[in-house]
Amino acid sequence: MLKNKDFLVLLIRLFLGYVFFSAGICKLTHGHFGQLIGPPWLEESLAKYGLGLFAQVVACCQVVCGALLLSQRFSTLGAVMLVPMNISILAVTISQNWTGTPYVNAVFLLLNLLLLFYEYQRFLFLFSVEATAAATPSKIETLRHGRLPWIILGAALLTMALAPFQYNLTNFAGLLTFGLAGAILLTSAILRKLEKVLVAQAMANMWLMTLGFVSPFVPTLVAVNSGLILLVLLVYLWRNRRKTERAPQLASVVA
């Protein structure tokens, strides 16, 4: 059974992975890819000051960071790379006096730091080799194995390569990337049925937001599904907590 913190880390990886992957592809396609954050017109805006190439580099970095998080295998590297990006974005939104945006980016930065804190044992080598050797791996470490994470990175790179040329194929490659990211979790034996339901709902939202232009009802569907995710997640956390509290009582009865 996964602990609450283990499963929440998986959901945060999926969320931040989608947010930054889709934001980068949206910039490279000039708004022809669904996303949660922007701005899709970054390159056009910075090109006025001779910084069009810089905007493309930012977009590519967002895609790479997002793909690394989605892959699970390289999620630690993605979380490390995302810290300076989140700090820079936060600084820009504050300096430009964007209403509300700094608070959203502050949440992203907080989630980013939570991912790193969860894996703090991986960074103990900076202080002590012995401490690193004694670190206990979590159950979700098994998700780093196999070929699927490499295939996810390949699909992400394909999406990025197609972005400037063919929008329909870019959307398809993006959907494939999200589907493969979900497949890692949905096919894992360490996740229970309710956990897989939550992952499937999260993947559904990714696809719906990517294809947001297909129907005017998509935003409503995303909102309804997001509410269901929150409800199911609360039930999941409550059930896990009850099982954790009852475990010592059952052990004492058996003894």
In a domain? residue 27: yes
Token pair in block for residue 76: 């630690």
In a domain? residue 235: no
pLDDT score at 93:
83
In a domain? residue 81: yes
pLDDT score at 135:
60
In a domain? residue 223: no
> CB neighbours of 78 closer than 8 A, spacing ≥ 6?
17, 64, 65, 66, 67, 68, 69, 71
Reported as a single tens digit per residue, the pLDDT across 112-161 is 999 999 988 888 777 776 655 556 677 788 888 889 999 999 999 999 99
Confidence of residue 89 (pLDDT cuts 50, 70, 90): confident
Across residues 68-87, what is the average pLDDT? 94
Percent of the chain with pLDDT over 90: 42
Number of domains into which the chain is organized: 1
Across residues 173-193, what is the average pLDDT? 92
In a domain? residue 252: no
- For residue 254, pLDDT over 50 is answered with no
Euclidean distance between CA atoms 68 and 251, whole angstroms:
41
Reported as a single tens digit per residue, the pLDDT across 99-114 is 778 888 999 999 999 9
Token pair in block for residue 221: 């569907």
- For residue 255, pLDDT over 60 is answered with no
In a domain? residue 111: yes
pTM of structure:
0.88
Which three-class secondary structure state does DSSP give residue 200?
helix
- For residue 249, pLDDT over 60 is answered with no
pLDDT score at 61:
92
Domain that holds residue 58: 4-123+142-191
